Structure 1
């Protein structure tokens, strides 16, 4: 794994998955590698009441019922659609579920305006077709078709960003569970094996890009992933991801709890301001998600490690926040500047701590961008 920039979940947690599989005595649907209870435990982590000989770390932070409903859906005939705001962990949950069920989370199609039916069905190796003609050997199966043939989980990211033609092609796959290959005379149908299902994700902010047809909606169970608003849960997510970052870069650095509190509070303040805004011009373009908090902290840690004193400071954290969230000029800069002067400055005078340095770092960053 050290040779991979980012290992998929089935490789990253291979030893843990092997161990869970060795002690798993629960009923398993189809060809699943783990039982539903063990999958839930893998995703949400173990508790003392589970009575295990080792601790299983929590990997996705969210409601237990969401994970259970997702697992039950994948054991049914319907596909699973995880829908929510950007940065709520939809893709990460989909990856963990696929890794636990079939030990392969890489059968992924990325939905874009350029995604075609070939990406979810099949295409052809042109040189082989010229040399030998069209055959199963010269056919290039899509990740979804590969999942069908293996009885595995296929993933479709950003479903609503793909065109209606692509979405319509999914309807027959989800309902009939096969793909016809009219170019072939023999072996012209690829059937899905037991265990095949699709996990799709959709950004609730992009629902107007290419809305799903009612026919496709009926083939999916919708599971909504809410924005994390609980500070304790959000702190756990940010801390978990930051520790992964530090291990990947082999950085020995402690994130001071007071600076993590400053980051969490600043995002909470900006979210409250966005909720009270009367127009889009008064809101930051950023979704202010947990994922963006992690991005701000990652940027600050790396900057401090490479160009600072190998320590995280409030000044660097503020500069990273401004650099990450100010996407429109001058609108976003004006919103952040208003926040710094209207909220951070009075708080710094009243509470002290890291806030005055955070204010100075934000001001300096805005001045350099203005």
Structure 2
């Protein structure tokens, strides 16, 4: 079934694992949860030998277990969960995994934008049915959030601070009263949330000031701040895990040398250090230099090597992908990358050798081509 989807949701990708966990789960489950809180944590963070399981459960999200535990506890309460952090820290992926483990449906999602309206989080109408038969429950189109309420499931709201204050205010009554009124109907005009309903929202910490949350809405969420991954080993594991999924999806068999993965992670680490020491925004790349962007750089290099190369990932291709991905502003970002390549990559190439010289040359060529 996953072969029929460009990207299968977590509950489909890991259906076999979720079924097995549910079959052996004898822990207490809140409401109508499919797994107990301990099994939700195990599904997300993976199993350890001390768990004594008959099969290994893969780790799917790489981060501090306290973040997962606090998230699970919040969803077992009557408060919403707000995952906040920099771009590319895995907030949406964690939200998807939580929803998949708890209710086996992570697709009840509203995407927050400047164009998101109350209809997107409450309901709208099938105009042709309204014209033919009038307004009724049959002609009502529930939003993903309303559907989650009716099923006692987990609803998701991506990029909450991107939506306007009117939309945010509409969430207050949903989170506090746990029902939605439908004043257009005379009967059957209230949808009550069933036990198990909760909301996971995500917010980009770099969007502060776009549409700040009101104090009333903040009180209805528990905040979990997801930090940027700074541990190189953890970051390498994340990049390797997500890249393996990509290659499996595209049916690509291509070796990713550990040395090239180390170069990628080290280069991003050095770029972050340079950004931290910069005295002005003009000296910083527009990129957030997140783990997600590392995955994008490696993905681009793998696909280029597969379709246009000799199906061997090389340091030169990786460097060209990195420069092309990070040079978003011209000429500002190119000037920053050029300074970085000569001031950091070149000395490291002379000192460490290996694939670094080829990485150095590939980056210089890409900068020259784009200049």
Identify the TM-score tier after normalising by the shorter chain. Answer: over 0.9
TM-score by length of 1: 0.99
After TM superposition, the structure 1 = structure 2 runs for residues 189-338 of structure 1, keeping only pairs within 5 Å, are 189-338=190-339
- Report the equivalent of 1:83: 84
Distance in 1 between the 2:369 and 2:109 partners? 41
The answer to whether the aligner puts 1:2 opposite 2:3 as a matched pair is yes
Distance in 2 between the 1:84 and 1:335 partners? 25
Query: What's the C-alpha RMSD, in Å, of the aligned pairs?
Result: 0.5
Structure 1 moving runs of 4+ over 2 Å:
none
Query: Equivalent residue of 1:2, what SS?
Result: helix
Q: Report the alpha carbon displacement of residue 367 of structure 1 after superposing the two structures with TM.
A: 1.2
Query: Equivalent residue of 1:223, what SS?
Result: strand
Q: Report the alpha carbon displacement of residue 253 of structure 1 after superposing the two structures with TM.
A: 1.1
Q: Deviations over 1:54-79 (max 9, x none)?
A: 00000000000000000000000100
- Report the equivalent of 1:43: 44
Distance in 2 between the 1:108 and 1:201 partners? 11
Query: Equivalent residue of 1:199, what SS?
Result: strand
Q: Report the alpha carbon displacement of residue 309 of structure 1 after superposing the two structures with TM.
A: 1.2
- Report the equivalent of 2:153: 152
- Report the equivalent of 1:21: 22
Q: Report the alpha carbon displacement of residue 353 of structure 1 after superposing the two structures with TM.
A: 1.0
Q: Deviations over 1:270-312 (max 9, x none)?
A: 0000000111110000000000000000000110111111011
Q: Report the alpha carbon displacement of residue 251 of structure 1 after superposing the two structures with TM.
A: 1.1
Q: Report the alpha carbon displacement of residue 104 of structure 1 after superposing the two structures with TM.
A: 0.2
Distance in 2 between the 1:236 and 1:208 partners? 33
Give ranges in structure 2 of 5+ residues lacking alignment.
none
Distance in 1 between the 2:183 and 2:16 partners? 43
Distance in 2 between the 1:192 and 1:30 partners? 12
Distance in 1 between the 2:348 and 2:127 partners? 65
Q: Report the alpha carbon displacement of residue 173 of structure 1 after superposing the two structures with TM.
A: 0.1
- Report the equivalent of 2:62: 61
The answer to whether the aligner puts 1:143 opposite 2:144 as a matched pair is yes
- Report the equivalent of 2:35: 34
Q: Report the alpha carbon displacement of residue 351 of structure 1 after superposing the two structures with TM.
A: 1.7
Q: Report the alpha carbon displacement of residue 138 of structure 1 after superposing the two structures with TM.
A: 0.3
Distance in 2 between the 1:318 and 1:145 partners? 47
Distance in 1 between the 2:29 and 2:142 partners? 28
Distance in 2 between the 1:207 and 1:5 partners? 33
Query: Equivalent residue of 1:190, what SS?
Result: strand
Give ranges in structure 1 of 5+ residues lacking alignment.
none
Q: Deviations over 1:121-158 (max 9, x none)?
A: 00000000000000000000000000000000000000
Q: Deviations over 1:310-360 (max 9, x none)?
A: 011010000000000000000000000001101111111222111111111
Distance in 2 between the 1:196 and 1:319 partners? 47
